[in-house]
A and B are shown apart, each in its own frame.
Chain A
Amino acid sequence: AYRTDEGQPWVLPVVKKVEQMIANDNSLNHEYLPILGLPEFRANASRIALGDDSPAIKENRIGSVQCLGGTGALRIGAEFLRRWYNGNNNTATPVYVSAPSWENHNSVFLDAGFKDIRTYHYWDAAKRGLDLKGLLDDMEKAPEFSIFILHACAHNPTGTDPTPDQWKQIAAVMKRRFLFPFFDSAYQGFASGSLDKDAWAVRYFVSEGFELFCAQSFSKNFGLYNERVGNLTVVGKDTDNVQRVLSQMEKIVRTTWSNPPSQGARIVATTLASPQLFAEWKDNVKTMADRVLLMRSELRSRLESLGTPGTWNHITDQIGMFSFTGLNPKQVEYMIKEKHIYLMASGRINMCGLTTKNLDYVAKSIHEAVTK
């Protein structure tokens, strides 16, 4: 979760404003939302991912399902794919998850009924960057129709994203081998500070004619973690196909949670539908993204000034909330035990935990861990 420079959670000013509007609006009640969710939320959320000028939206071949956070969107998508993709109830379709990935990806697809979850090469520990060759190789070798979970931006946990050119290569292989793209977009806007930039990969795939799913989370970019605001965007060949897909997703939703929670969706819908509030939101998002970017550049420059052995450009090359520092387990243990700096055994740090007050301490500690 995001933290301010004081190390505190941050409720976005635009969210506070909209919550107050909702609280003051006596015409609102707590009635059930439709099974697929609040219509204004669904349409606006998908528009954010695909872009105002999306050909798929113009051609009316997109669908949206309001879900409980990004996790809920992934799960509904996974449940649908297990029932209807690559045959009926084909639990043997391979599902590829990046190595490494968010650890819950595996469980989501396993619990949805898939039996064959595999990894695809992603992180190159030696060069501390993307193992594009390994990735493309895995895609060439994957059985046709395999499902690939792609991180739309700000890869969790490595912070390492393909460049546009690399995405083009990935898309080309996936198209040729009939692989299904399931995007996980949990950080749109939060990664670079620009909604459009962070959605580039998803939009590129759409422009290349793919049918795809995109699980969106508004937990981070709206700071609405505990209201569970998510959206599953479906892009299909035409209206008719998308309608049938949504009708089946409705059945899945009905036995999982019946209909989604209204509070968070209202906040997001109200914000996205108002030009003024939308501008304020983009500004709030940029505030968060900029702080993280600043912490990255400050940490890197400190390590370089200290002469800490190794190269540290990966800290600013990487993007989003997390950074794979490259620290090994022993070094991580040192950080935790001796310096009381908590990070994952993988060497992953949450950049949001850095503040102007602790930068020096963290940099020095990394230096010690590496030089000891």
Chain B
Amino acid sequence: SSWWSHVEMGPPDPILGVTEAFKRDTNSKKMNLGVGAYRDDNGKPYVLNCVRKAEATIASKKMDKEYLPIGGLADFTRASAELALGENSEAFKSGRYVTVQGISGTGSLRIGANFLQRFFKASRDVYLPKPTWGNHTPIFRDAGLQLQAYRYYDPKTCSLDFSGAMDDISKIPEKSIILLHACAHNPTGVDPRQEQWKELAAVVKKRNLLVYFDMAYQGFASGDINRDAWAVRHFIEQGINIVLAQSYAKNMGLYGERAGAFTVICSDAEEAKRVESQLKILIRPMYSNPPLNGARIASIILNTPDLRKEWLVEVKGMADRIISMRTQLVSNLKKEGSSHNWQHITDQIGMFCFTGLKPEQVERLIKEFSIYMTKDGRISVAGVTSSNVGYLAHAIHQVTK
């Protein structure tokens, strides 16, 4: 008999499971609006030109393959901090931060979660917005923390339930941990406006909460890296010492290279050094030190003026295409004769859109039209192209009329 007779079959990952089902479908009109990976207007993966140039540089330099330090590539971590905080940030210039390289967004979130579990003794509770990325809950749970929620999305309006959020957050026990999406909220695409962010910062400060920002879409949301980082920077300016997870999967298209970073804003540089030492102690028994390739590509892009400029243009290009697809989807729905209000599709921002479709309607889209999305009605707008937006509008109209 086996040691593993009692091991249960794990459920398939809901998000990645959508792609698996899509691959099996033989319908020529099929659309994959599941996983959040950018596609160009031909529905193809897009390798950024600045990435290709950085790779050519790397190939020509013939560097060795020695281990990175546990905390990662220094040029990368410093550039990541500067990208998030802004070059004029007092926190950045004073050095009162530590940034370690993480395994893209997930790995960075997990390092932070483990760090909080070990060193943030004031609370075991992490407050997540309702809804949030499906992987947030298991990440924090596996790190040994407990999950709570605050209201965020209003399904009646398909937009932010601001009063609900403020109400819930004002009641969160002091010194709890609260997770906020910096921009392009996943899965809803609903972000607070700047005035709303100001109020959120004030209440969070009043409740003395530890703020954990997840920034997976800087640049990718509005097309402007500074605008997308506004909330993060505002909170820090208000004296809130945040922790932050960054990902380069989407904004540099480096998905499989796993480039990310975890940052802790500290009281001073000396505290940052102590925090860094503990982060390294957490990382070492996880995977020893991080992979170089993605971080080096990102570092070359961020630190080479011409490439950085080119990157800003390309990331804006991706954001603009998404925004244009949102606009076209709404106008096509109108053309189909839909009487519903689809304004939320263009109000929402980033890769994802909470269509407001119900599970039965999603089921029909999958079964009758081979249009794949997650059960919550979330679509990845990146999967929409000018040649299939009409089909998508037609299908949505069919299941909602």
Contacts and interface: CB of A to CB of B under 8 A. Distances in A.
B288 A69 contact: yes
A244 B135 contact: no
A20 B59 contact: yes
A311 B11 CA distance: 59
Interface in A195-254: 211, 219, 223-228, 236-238, 241-245, 247-248, 250-252, 254
Q: Most chain-B CB neighbours within 10 Å: which of A33, A236, A255?
A: A255
Interface residues of A, number: 63
B68 A243 contact: no
A244 B67 CA distance: 34
Given A84-B7, A228-B290, A32 B255 contact: yes
B257 A261 contact: yes
A9 B256 contact: no
A261 B256 contact: yes
A116 to B, nearest CB: 17
A30 B285 contact: no
A110 interface: yes
Contacts of B103: 68, 256-258, 261
A255 B291 contact: no
B16 interface: yes
Contacts of A260: 258
A125 interface: no
A279 interface: no
Nearest to B46: A29
B291 A226 contact: yes
Contact of B45 (A16, A29, A211, A226): A29
Contacts of A35: 13, 16
A254 B13 contact: yes
Contacts of A68: 103, 286-288, 290-291
Interface string B230-263: 0000000000000000000100011111100000
A251 B138 contact: yes
B304 to A, nearest CB: 18
Contacts of A71: 284-288
Contact of B258 (A29, A84, A88, A261): A261
A244 B291 contact: no
B286 A111 contact: yes
A251 B291 contact: no
A248 B285 CA distance: 20
A75 B139 CA distance: 16
Contacts of A250: 10, 13
A255 B110 contact: yes
Interface residues on B, range: 35 or more
A264 interface: yes
B256 A31 contact: yes
B36 to A, nearest CB: 10
B285 A110 contact: yes
Given A30-B255, A255-B135, A248 B106 contact: no
A254 B135 contact: yes
A226 B69 CA distance: 9
Interface string B74-115: 000000000000000000000000000001111100100000
A11 interface: yes
Of the candidates A30, A88, A245, A250, the one having the most CB atoms from chain B within 10 angstroms of its own CB is: A30
Contact of A11 (B64, B105, B287, B294): B64
Interface string B16-53: 10000000000000000001010000000101000100
A84 B47 CA distance: 40
B285 A211 contact: no
B3 A75 contact: no
Interface string B45-73: 10100010001100100101111100000
Contacts of A34: 16
Interface string B253-283: 1111110000000000000000000000110
A263 B291 contact: yes
A180 B2 CA distance: 12
B254 A248 contact: no
A11 B47 CA distance: 27
B65 A262 contact: no
A254 B62 CA distance: 33
A64 interface: no
B135 A236 contact: no
Contacts of A20: 59
Interface string A1-19: 1000000010100011001
A256 B107 contact: yes
Contact of A241 (B7, B13, B106, B289): B7
B3 A225 contact: no
A252 to B, nearest CB: 8
Contacts of A19: 59
23 contacts: A1-B66, A15-B65, A29-B47, A30-B253, A30-B257, A31-B45, A68-B286, A68-B288, A68-B291, A72-B287, A86-B3, A107-B284, A107-B285, A180-B3, A243-B9, A244-B4, A245-B4, A247-B9, A255-B138, A257-B110, A258-B104, A261-B103, A263-B294
Given A226-B65, A261-B256, A261-B293, 11 more contacts: A30-B51, A30-B256, A71-B285, A104-B285, A224-B65, A237-B4, A251-B10, A254-B106, A257-B258, A258-B103, A258-B105
